Amino acid sequence: MGNQKFFVNKLHHSSKRNYLKRMINQKVKGMNIATKYGYDYWDGNRKYGYGGYRYIPGRWKGVAKKLIKTYSLNNKSKILDVGCGKAYLLYEIKLLLPKIEIYGFDISKYAISKAKNIVKKNLFVHNAKKKFPFKSKKFDLAISLATLHNLNIDGLFNSIKEIERVAKKKYIMVESYNNFQELFNLQCWALTCKSFFSVKDWKWIFKINKYKGDYEFICFK
C-alpha cells in the first residue's frame, strides 16, 4: 500500500455545511433523487446534491499541480479518472499538460454531457463496480475522487482491484471518519454514500484488496 496524501482536504474544508439542516430536510427523498445522478444532483437544489456544480477557473488547479508533480506526469502520460463527474480536474490537468492523454468515466450521463469539449471525447458512461474496458497497466496514473464510497462492498472491492490492474500508479480519495462526531456529520450529509468506513477500516480494505497506490480521506468536521 502507498502513502496517505492531502491533495483535496484544503478544498474540501473550504465549503460550509449545515449537517443537521440536511438531515431533517427530507433527506430520504434527497437520497432517492441524488442517486439518480442527474440534473438535480449536480445542478439542482442543494438538498439534492451539489446545488450547482459549475466550473470555477483555477479551483482544481492546485490539485492538478500536486498530481502532476507527485506522479511525474508529462505530455506523454496517460491518466484515467474513475468517477470523473464533469471532469473539471481532468480539464485543469489538460490545461497544464496540453498533450497528455486523458480518459474518464462516470455513472452520470448528465455529468459527462457537461464536461469541457477538449476533454469530452475520451469520457464515457460506465459503472465503477464493473470491469474497466482497458488492458492491464495501460495508464501511468489512475485517480478516483469521492466515488468509491458510493459503491456497495462487492462493487467497492472490484473497483479497487480494477484501479490497481489498469494503472502503474494510483490515487484514491474517499469519504471517511475518525470519531463519532465525524461519523454523525458524514451520515447527516452524505446522500449517495453506501460504504461508511473509518480511516482504519479503509486502510484494511485497501490492504486485503492488494491495493498498492496512494489514498486520501476527507472527513466532515
Q: Distances from the Cα of 163 to the Cαs of 26, 110, 146, in angstroms?
A: 35, 24, 14
Q: Cα angle at 50 between 25 and 88, to 5 degrees?
A: 170
Long-range pairs of 195-204 with CB within 8 A, sequence gap ≥ 24: 195/148, 195/149, 195/150, 195/151, 195/152, 195/153, 195/156, 196/149, 197/149, 202/174, 202/176, 203/1
Predicted pLDDT at 25: 86
Q: What is the pLDDT of residue 1?
A: 86
Quick check: is 130 in a domain? yes
Is 1 part of a structural domain of the chain? no
pLDDT at 49 (0 to 100): 95
In a domain, 3, yes or no: no
Domain for residue 4, yes or no? no
CATH at 166: 3.40.50.150
Query: Number of structural domains, the chain?
Result: 1
Measured distance CA(34)–CA(29) in Å, rounded: 9
Domain membership flag for residue 129: yes
- Report yes or no on 179 lying in a domain: yes
List Cβ neighbours of 134 (8 Å cut-off, separation of 6 or more). Answer: 80, 103, 166
What's the pLDDT score for residue 138? 98
In this prediction, residue 11 carries a pLDDT of 87
pLDDT in tens, the chain (221 residues): 899 999 999 889 888 899 988 898 899 999 999 999 999 999 999 999 999 999 999 999 999 999 999 999 999 999 999 999 999 999 999 999 999 999 999 999 999 999 999 999 999 999 999 999 999 999 999 999 999 999 999 999 999 999 999 999 999 999 999 999 999 999 999 999 999 999 999 999 999 999 999 999 999 99
Q: Is residue 2 part of a domain?
A: no
The residue segments making up the domain with residue 193 are 9-218
* Domain assignment present for 188: yes
